Structure formats: C-alpha cells, structure tokens
Amino acid sequence: MRPMGQLRFELHTTADDSQARAGKIFTDHGEIETPIFMPVGTAGSVKAVSQAQLKTDVQAQIILGNTYHLYLRPSLDILQSAGGLHKFIGWDRPILTDSGGYQVFSLANSRKITEEGVVFQSHIDGSKHLFTPENVMDIQRVIGGDIIMAFDECPPYPSDFPYAKQSMQLTHRWLDRCFKRFNETDNKYGYTQNLFPIVQGGTYTDLRRESCEYIAAANASGNAIGGLSVGEPEEMMYALTALCCENLPVEKPRYLMGVGTPWNILECISLGIDMFDCVMPTRNGRNAMLFTSKGIINIDNKKWENDFSVLDAGFDSPVSNYYSKAYLRHLIKSKEILGLTIASVHNLAFYLYLVKESRRRIIDGTFLSWKKEQTGILKTRL
Amino acid sequence: MRPMGQLRFELHTTADDSQARAGKIFTDHGEIETPIFMPVGTAGSVKAVSQAQLKTDVQAQIILGNTYHLYLRPSLDILQSAGGLHKFIGWDRPILTDSGGYQVFSLANSRKITEEGVVFQSHIDGSKHLFTPENVMDIQRVIGGDIIMAFDECPPYPSDFPYAKQSMQLTHRWLDRCFKRFNETDNKYGYTQNLFPIVQGGTYTDLRRESCEYIAAANASGNAIGGLSVGEPEEMMYALTALCCENLPVEKPRYLMGVGTPWNILECISLGIDMFDCVMPTRNGRNAMLFTSKGIINIDNKKWENDFSVLDAGFDSPVSNYYSKAYLRHLIKSKEILGLTIASVHNLAFYLYLVKESRRRIIDGTFLSWKKEQTGILKTRL
C-alpha cells in the first residue's frame, strides 16, 4: 500500500497525431487507468447492476454518486453512520461525487439562485433545502467520494452572452468558497478526498478560455469541463472541448462531465479528455438500445426475434458474449427485470471496453486511425 | 458422461424419526440433490436474477419454466429455432416445465373446460388458445424441459366433493392421454424428457388416496402432488401431503407443487417430499420481505434504516453476507432495480440453503429436532 494522500496523475503517453493521452490516476481507493468511463451510480446504485457485476462484467474502475440524490435519500445521517458511501454500498474502488448543481436545475421541483446558493424543493417530497458552496463541501465530505466536485451553476443551452458570463462569474466566486471550505475541513474516513473545479462559460469561446484560466489557477489535482452536452450541436461541443483542453493544464486529468455517445467519447479522447461519465449506457439500455462494436441495436425490434447470436462478440465480456439477441429481446418485451440488467451491463461493459481499447491504441500509436474507422461503425443503425 | 436416458432417483437415506429422505436425481443435464427447491423462471427468467447469480449465489440445481407463459411468449417457433429453452436462456442444468394447467385457471382472461381440454384467452393480447393433454405434451417437447408435467385441472379451494371427484377423474383421463402422446413422441434435442403425473382430489382423503393409486400405477419416473397450498389451512395441507406421501411409491421422487414458506418446506420434507417450487422467495422479495435464518424481515420498515449488519450472516451466501440491511432498505425505498435483485437472490439462496441443510441433517440423523427448533425461528417477525 502506498501512503494515503492527494490524488496523483501520471501521464504515460500523448499521441503524436492527436491530443489523446494515456495515463493513470492514483487514489487512496486504488488506481484508475485513463482515459476512463465512470458508470453513474445515482442513488448509491448503478441502476440495475450489482457491485459484483460492476467488477466482473463491466470492469468499472471508478463509479459516480449523485450528491443531490444521496443527500435527500438515504440522507447524510445514514451515510455518516455507515462510514461513508463506499461502506454503505459495498464498493472499495474509487468514487466520484458530483456537486448536486446540475440536479438542482434538472430535477428539483423549483429552485431559486442567489449569491448565497440555491434554494430548491425535493422532487421526492417537496421539502425545501438550501445548497451553498460551503454545505455542498460538507455534504460531499460526509458522502466520502475520493473525488468531489465544486458547486457550480450549469446554464441552459442556449444562454445569451450576458447570462452565460454572469453565471460563469458566480461559479467562479462559488469555487473560491468551495476551496476555502474544503481546505478548512478534514477527510472523514481516513482516506484523502480531492476537489475538482468545473469550467463553465456556455458556448462562448472567450468565456470558456477565461473560465479555464480561472479554474487552472486553483491548481487542483484535476479539472472538469461542465455545461456541455446540454443540447448544443455535436460539433460545437467538440470545438469547446478542444478549446478547454488547450487551456487546462497538461499534467492534470481532464474530466468532461455528462458526455456522451460512444463516438462522442472517442472524439473527446482525441481532444485530450481523460475522464467521462454519462447515464446514456444505463438509461438507453433500460430503453432497449444497445451500443455494440458493430453499431446500434434497438433490441425490441422484431428483426432480432430469431437472432440467436450473442449480443456482441466483438469484445471480451461475460454478459455480452453469453446472452443472445433473441433472448434479450424476449426479456425486454416481457418486461423482465433481467432484461434491464443485461442491457445495462452490456452497454457499460462496451463503454469500458472502448476506453480500454483507446488507451491501448494511444500507447501503441494507432488510436487516431482506429477512431476514424470506429466513428462510422459505432453510429450505424443495425 | 453417463449415457443419456430416463431420469433416475437414488434414495440415500430415510430418517428414522420422520419420513424425511435424502436422495439424488440424475438427469441428462446433471444431478439434483434432494430435497431440493426449484426457483421459478416463469417466462424464461427467474425474475430479477441472472443465470450467473443462479449458479454462484443461489446455487440452484434445477429451475422451472411455465408452459403457459413460454407458449404465449416468446412462442414455440422461437423456442424451437433456439434449440429449446436451455439454449434460449443459457442454462445448462436441469429444467422442469409445468403443464400450464394452473396458469390457465389463475391468469387467463377466461377459460372453458371440456373433455377435450381448455379454451382460454391470453392475458397478454386476449387471443384464444386451446390446451389439450396432447398439445401440452407437444408444447413441452418443444420447450424441452428435462421434467415435464401432465396436464391437469387444479380445482379451487374450497371445492365440494362431487366437483373435486369429477375434476380428479378428468385429470386422470387427461393423464392417460398425456402418457399416450408422450410415448408416441420423441425427445427433440438429444436428451431425455420425463413426464411426471399429478395427484389431485381436492381436500378429500378418499379422493387423494384414489388419485395416488391412479398416479402410482402410471409408473412414471417421479410423481407430483398438485392442488395444495391454494388457500386451505396449513394443517390440512400437511395432512393431505402426508397422506399422499404414504400412498406414492417410495422409490420415486415426490414433488409438492407450489409450496411454500420456509417452515412449510421443512414440514413437508419431514413428511417425505423431495422437490418443491414456489414463487414466494422471488415475489415476496420484490415486495420487501426477506426470509432469513433469524426470521422474517420487512426490509422497508424504518427500523432497518441504520442497521448496517449484513442481510443474513446465518449461512454462507455471497449476496446475503455482503449487502447491509440499511443499504437494501435504501434501494427498495428508492425503487432501485438492484434492490429487487438483492432481495430475490437472498431469498432464493436462503431457500436453497434450507434444503441443503435439511439434506445434511437427514443424513446425519439430526433433521427432526432441527426442524422443530427452526419452525419457530423461521416464523419470527423481526
């Protein structure tokens, strides 16, 4: 065991023909090979997937928890009594928690933003709550993620320049308050937590550049890019991601929040992103959409009714190489819970395969040509 | 590999102080240690549980499929194209299919019984279908269970004597037609199928005795007792089970259909039953009820909110010894799919532990005293 301490990033390889990087993140709960995809475990569970399946089938190296959900249920009292989220859910690898900022805007019944923070109503019981930069640090201390996120405002798309600017500036002021509180408080459970700041700035390159500078100056152990993949065109997302990567430190991991499709992930790896999370593999899986090495399958389509080939023979996966398309279609049509599990496990395993294969190819120098070839394949509707 | 052939039953031990038996059933898909509990995989899936979990966590030796459900969906065409249910669902251990008789009465929108068979309407799309003793054999040939069941009428409780008698006689005439068709048709997939007849006779000892004689005369490789646990008092179910066991051959396995609670199972093992199936562990699990070695837990009760002890440390089980009560309660309250899976896997693993422990104690001569002690414990509401 190495001594406990702050997250460390080792950059192993940067591609010659793109900005793609292969590296490794060291945390007190173990190592993470980058680029990495992080399954989303919203309320303390990656939906429909067991912790054993996450290890064996998905080969997840780190998962996410959502502060908004966990704060409301099971509540901080219970998480603290449990000794933090790792112990509560039975997961001994790294965890990242978001700050709740995004959920307050997307899920809460109502919300009111002030300089102080955000007052919102729970989507569960309508109760009123206040999130501030300070208490969101305290909350994430209790939840106990290895990586915790700054409290930010995620402006909608489209937002006009004045709003995006004002919102970015608020996020920056909140960031200072986050770091102040974070630095005044201690790790609760004997391992080190790490605070990542978040770049905002809407779709405006000047604002994004300014935000990157502000965020980089915080000298955190990693940096995140927020406010993308919220409805803007794909090309705009790529351009802004590229710009942020150029303006964030090389020696720190870069985390693109909430992105995306398999081809989004390959493209953004080529731009210099190291970490991804997205509900797409699990949410779309529960809605019968499979991402495979040959393209997209809508498994409830009648064409798969008599297709007894396995879900995906294109990569090594106990679940994807075991169950047939016809069987999964039957399960989904019959509303069997196992169908949701198989689709979710397959999609996550495929995402983890994609980032692992990307890493291998970045190291051996074949990433860019492979990415170009894959993009068309991954988008194919089978 | 032993040569393919008819199911064989080896009786290893009969208790001195009860009718409990320990034995082994040999099928072309492997051995089954008895007494055994068979998880119910209604529509080709043990609800919320994966095939890997059935092997690793539950340690299931045989599972059930429901003819009624599988016939309607995915349909015989698909099952035949797949090469039978084992291949369709990816399960290489034994499978038993029921005859659809019970579901026609409990699930179909409407049904009409004649000497010929039963016309019923699908609960899925209202389409009309006919089940006869002959076509139910043909259907089960296509599904491909290692053990298939005779087509019977399961009279409701209470039924008066004339109805129960008339229904039993119809079941007997149907049995003759089942065996005729079964003997005229071949195994479809290279392994041997075995037809079990079903004792009926309602709650009338004379009828039950008569039915046992009729069923025994068929000289099948195993015999089933149907029409119990349909609402009659527990003591009546035990008395009728005891009577059937006395009147069915010693050298054949005895299967009590649709029973029951953990204490029902221990009691009926003591009466001479070798095989059980029931939806209770999965259905009740999905409704937050856990059967444990210390008694019954209603996991959505607030009292478990801060109980971080594992679900059940009382027996060896990867899932029951891993997740905490507080975590499972949180998952169930949050309507997380993983909660349904954990509760189902735990309950099934506990049922399989109970029959395994019963077998061990039958062999070492301590079953009856253990059963008496367990009955009170198992019923305790925690």
Q: Return left, alpha or beta for B2; rule: phi > 0 is left, psi -120 to 50 is alpha, else beta.
A: beta
Question: Cβ–Cβ of A90/B322 closer than 8 Å?
Answer: yes
Say whether B48 and A337 touch across the interface (CB within 8 A): yes
Please answer yes or no on whether A334 and B306 come within 8 Å at the CB atom.
no
Residues of chain A numbered 55-74 and touching chain B (CB < 8 Å): 69, 73-74
Q: Is the Cβ of B88 closer than 8 Å to some Cβ of chain A?
A: yes
Q: Which residues pair with A118 in a beta bridge?
A: A113, A131
Are B333 and A73 inside 8 Å of each other by CB? yes
Region B327-352: mean pLDDT is: 98
Contact B330 A52 (CB under 8 A): no
Residue-wise pLDDT tens digits, A307-317:
999 999 999 99
Region A132-149: mean pLDDT is 98
Interface test with B, best of A54, A334, A335, A348 (most B CBs within 10 A): A334
Inform me whether the pLDDT recorded for B230 exceeds 60: yes
Q: Which residue of B has its CA nearest to A318?
A: B52
Do B327 and A90 count as a contact with CB atoms less than 8 A apart?
yes
Residues of A in contact with B88 (CB under 8 A): 308, 324, 326-327, 330
Cis peptide before B74 (omega within 30 of 0): yes
Burial class for A298, CB neighbours closer than 10 Å (0-12, 13-18, 19+): middle
- d(CA A95, CA A84) in angstroms, rounded, equals 11
Question: Annotated catalytic, A312?
Answer: no
User: Cα separation of B193 and B175, whole Å?
Assistant: 16
pLDDT above 50 (res B296) = yes
Q: Give chain B's mean pLDDT.
A: 97
User: Which two structure tokens, joined as six digits, stand for B301?
Assistant: 């009760």
Is residue A32 within 8 A of residue A45, CB to CB? The reply is: no
State the pLDDT confidence band at B307, using cuts at 50, 70 and 90: very high
Q: Which of B306, B327, B333 sits opposite A89 (nearest CB)?
A: B327
- CA–CA dist A118, B122 (Å, integer): 53
Nearest CA to A284 among A297, A293, A275, A294?
A297
Which amino acid is present at B371?
K
Establish if B122 touches chain A: CB-CB under 8 angstroms: no
How many residues would you count in chain A? 382
- List b or e across B121-139, with b for residues whose CB sees 16 or more CB atoms inside 10 angstroms: bbeeeeeebebbbbbbbeb
Contact B324 A78 (CB under 8 A): no
Asked whether the predicted pLDDT for residue B91 surpasses 60, the reply is yes
Q: What is the pLDDT of residues B3-34, one digit of tens each?
A: 678 999 999 999 999 999 999 999 999 999 99
Nearest CA to B299 out of B266, B263, B323, B277 is that of: B323
E-assigned strand segments in chain B: 8-14, 21-27, 30-34, 36-38, 63-65, 95-97, 111-113, 118-121, 128-131, 147-149, 194-196, 198-199, 223-225, 254-256, 275-277, 289-292, 295-298
Residue B149, strand partner residues: B196
pLDDT tens track for B133-187? 999 999 999 999 999 999 999 999 999 999 999 999 999 999 999 999 999 999 9
Nearest to A338 among B50, B78, B87 (CB): B50
- % residues pLDDT > 90 (chain B): 96
Gyration radius (Cα) of chain B, Å: 20
State the residue for tokens 């980032």. A355
Nearest to B244 by CA among B168, B146, B179: B168
Beta carbons of A78 and B306 less than 8 Å apart? yes
pLDDT of residue A110: 85
Write down the ipTM of this complex.
Answer: 0.97
Residue B111, helix vs strand vs coil: strand
Distances, alpha carbon A364 to alpha carbons A13, A181, A368, A370, in Å: 9, 43, 11, 11
Q: pLDDT class for A2, splitting at 50, 70, 90?
A: low
Structure-token pair, residue A76: 């901080």
A81 contact B CB<8A: yes
Return the DSSP state at B191. S
Residue B213 structure tokens: 């004689």
A190: cis peptide before it, omega within 30°? no
On whether any CB of chain B is under 8 Å from the CB of A302, the answer is no
Q: Nearest to residue A208, comparing CAs of A256, A252, A174?
A: A256
pLDDT band for position A291 (50/70/90)? Answer: very high
- Contact indicator for B4, B28 with CB cutoff of 8 Å: yes
To the nearest whole number, what is the mean pLDDT of chain A? 97
**B105: pLDDT confidence band, cut at 50, 70 and 90?**
confident
Chain A nearest C-alpha distance from B78 (Å)? 6
Compute the half-sphere exposure of residue B119: CA atoms within 13 Å on the CB side of its CA: 6
Q: Given an 8 Å threshold on Cβ–Cβ distance, is A43 in contact with B326?
A: no
Query: Does the pLDDT of residue A376 top 70, yes or no?
Result: yes
Contacts of A119 (CB under 8 A, 6+ apart): A111, A112, A128, A129, A130
* Yes or no, beta carbons of B90 and A308 under 8 Å apart: no
Q: Which of A77, A88, A339 lies closest to B327 in CB terms? A: A88
CA angle at residue A363 from A357 to A364, to 5 degrees? 90
Kindly report the backbone phi and psi dihedral angles of residue B112, in degrees, each rounded to the nearest multiple of 5, phi listed first: -140, 120
Q: Is the peptide bond before B253 cis (omega within 30 degrees of 0)?
A: no
Active-site entry in A57, A98, A146, A312: A98
Distance from CA of B328 to the nearest CA of A (A): 9
pLDDT tens readout for residues B182-215: 999 999 999 999 999 999 999 999 999 999 999 9
Q: What pLDDT is attached to residue A3?
A: 60
Q: Is the pTM of this model over 0.80?
A: yes
Distance between A336 CA and the closest CA of chain B, angstroms: 7
The pLDDT > 90 percentage for chain A reads 96
Reported as a single tens digit per residue, the pLDDT across A166-200 is: 999 999 999 999 999 999 999 999 999 999 999 99
Is A62 a residue whose pLDDT tops 50?
yes
Window 211-250 of B, Cβ < 8 Å to A: none
* Residue A341 C-alpha, separation from nearest chain B C-alpha, in angstroms: 8
Confidence of residue A326 (pLDDT cuts 50, 70, 90): very high
Which tens digits make up the pLDDT trace of A242-271?
A: 999 999 999 999 999 999 999 999 999 999
Confidence of residue B1 (pLDDT cuts 50, 70, 90): very low
Phi then psi dihedrals of residue B118, to 5 deg? -130, 125
Rounded mean pLDDT, B361-365? 98
The verdict on B379 touching A (C-beta cutoff 8 Å) is no
Q: Is B302 on the interface with A (CB under 8 A)?
A: no
pLDDT tens for B367-376 read: 999 999 999 9
pLDDT tens per residue, range B340-360: 999 999 999 999 999 999 999
Tokens, residue A173: 């002021």
A277 belongs to the catalytic site:
yes
Examine the pLDDT at A1 and tell me if it is beyond 80: no
